[in-house]
Structure 1
Amino acid sequence: MKSRTRITVAQSQRLSLNTSLSAAIRVLRTDAAGLSRFLEEQAADNPALGVEWAVPAAPEWLPRWGGSLARLHDGGPGDVEVADAGPSLAAHVAAGIAALGLSARALRVAEALSEALGPAGWLVRPLAEVAAEVGATPTETEAVLERLQRLEPAGLFARNLEECLRLQAAEAGDLDAVMAGVLCRLPLLAAGETARIARALDCPEAEVLRAVQRLRRYDPKPGARFAPGAAPVAEPDLTVRQGPEGWEVALNRGALPTLSLREGPGRAEAKALMRLVEGRNATLLRVARDILQRQAAALDQGFAALVPMGMAEVAEAVGLHPATVSRVVAGTAIDTPRGTWWLRALFSQAVGEDGRASAALRESLARLVAAENPAAPLTDEALAMELSATGAPVARRTVAKYRGMLGIPAAHARRRRPAQRQ
């Protein structure tokens, strides 16, 4: 039997994205760092699009450092306000210490130093005090500290902001003479006195500005990234600060370049791209303001005060589709007085009917474990009872699930004997 070719007519329907719509979606869902790279690529191909970077004056030039730089004048590392850290930082440090293969005496010093670690990842007690507590000499303690400062992420176990940034500059290979001079003059940098720093270093101001650009990549609070919802090292897209009328959300202008329209071919494409960026920024602000208005208690008290919130209710409030809200918050970081948070981390479903937000329960669980007696840690049942006392009942199996998500070992594995003085 011979096969015959047959011609048929069929009708089908499919969705196709044109170039402009595809570009709009890309701009909408890209964070500040990715958008900056995209704009620089577009400017390289389009002479009509101007992209310029500037280093604004403090305190806006690097929002993540606002508190740290301000406290250089009157406070110590113990005063730095950061995101509430859970036991995951302690677990990370404990694993790093175990991998160092220290002697028994050095291990006691390392454990004492880890207990003196604040939520920002800095030491919050004087080195001499820690040495006296474990019966070690200052030289021995300094040697152990030097080894601990090699743990990831760089900047942990620093004694102050300058040392924290210096450790990161050394790891990145950026610690040249200009960078070292800038780090020695952080109060001047906080005041935006880059010209004065250049005169003191006897170098062009452009070299100081290049060092500042490299400095922007460092994290002044390396320990805060272990907090629930904390974002990794990156320039945040948004900032939120307490104003006269409450919490005020703004774009981090230092994270994006300034766009300008130049003469030459490609002006229509450049104009269209500038409109896309303006639309992206306006949409991001609308969504972020609604989110943070709902989660104002979390800004005041931390993640333990998060309320249940879904993308559908935010989308309805701002007049957008839930998919658009999802694209906007994807990868978006916001600088808060409690650290740099993912905007998406502020969405959390309720546990049970009319229960607390699951993220708030995880944060409360982390705080309970962090405050427990290490010689008599709380069991899952005891933790469930403590959490239930604050609101809706919480099952023991829920505690076990959240404990696993946070990387917190069981009670028997958390038990530690009190340190013996020598």
Structure 2
Amino acid sequence: MAASGAALPEMTSGVSRERSRKGLQTTDKSAWSLSKEEIAKFINSQKQNICVGVLQHGFHRSFSEIFQLVRLDQERREAAEVNSAVSLQTPLEEQQHKMESISRHLSRAEQAKRDGQWPLAYKQRLILGGYFTDEEDLWLSLHFYLTCTDAPEEGCLGHATEARACLAELYLQQGQLDKAREQAELCVQLADGGGWSDSSGRSLRHRARESLWSIYSRQADSCFKAGDHNEALRLLHSGYTTATESENKHIEGEAAYQLGLAYYSLGDHDTSEQYLNTSMQICSTTQDIDGLGKAYKAMAKLCESKGNLNNTIHLLETLVDISRSNSLHHHLVDACLCLGNVYTNMRQYDRARERLLQGYNVACNIGDKTLVHKAQVSLASAHTRCIMRKYSADVESDMPLALSRLLDWKVTRGRHDATDDDVVSDY
């Protein structure tokens, strides 16, 4: 440090001589001297400068928390597998904008506590929780939300409730369903008694229920996969009740749809029909065309299982019209393919081919390779059945025209494209 101190005057005098040589004068020699603070900015790390600044302003609690977060970041990176995404992350202390944001809002929160403005203090932490949205920063978001959940001070319970709503959504995003459910259920209990809104003005009572419905739905999926059908149904019914209380008709329609599918898979077609009808009514009222399309397809499949093919065809034809008029191309392809298969099973091969060809063309237009392949298989099957039906009829016939068609087919077979109309008429 002594050597550095000796070199600084030399540098300063050198600058002064250069200015004199160029004819520039200065009357204040101190204007060309660097302060200790300015020197520190160049010598110290970003973490040191930020921490020193926080301490200089007397925010000792903020300093301790920043130091703790830097240590936690180092520990989590060291504990991660070698060359994993976490281990390769840039250390928090080297990310200036994040460190500055943390120090700024923590300092404001500490000052607010000194002034007795507790709601403002927790608001700063909520701001920090919402600031860190990138995947690599979710641990920071969780930290700041968790520090808001135990807010005993008067007037802060709304902030604590909002923090729990945010935690439920974060845990759900990470697939930690049990933790997400715990936070969402606590949030519902608190929000029902307080009637608060979040920072954006959204009702916490409704927001918590929307999250809780998503959690119940995900847990029910896991139970179905594990073969625990009773628990899955219980969760879906809880989800449906929660969805109706959320006053969000979109998720209410989806919850009814999921119950309909669940009862269909368990063979309870009457109960399935009840919930699918409810879903269709809700989606129709709210103009949720995508949800309506899903409900129509499920109901059509149910009617087909019950042997009611007339209702099946009516539902699918209606879905074709709805999908076409609303440019729902994937629903349109599915409806056409389903209709084609129904007509094929009814041995109405011409109608089957017509709908399957329509679905194939739409699938090609939207470039969905999976749907194109699916349509090709169904179309080829229907086309083959159509040819075989007409070929068998001509073989059994003693009419000259039938014999002529058989002879023509023998000469020209294999030369036609499978989608030409003349192939169907002359097999």
Q: TM-score, normalised by structure 1?
A: 0.22
Between Structure 1 and Structure 2, whose CA radius of gyration is higher?
2
* Higher share of residues assigned helix: 2
Question: Relative CO higher for 1 or 2, CA cutoff 8 Å, sep ≥ 6?
Answer: 1
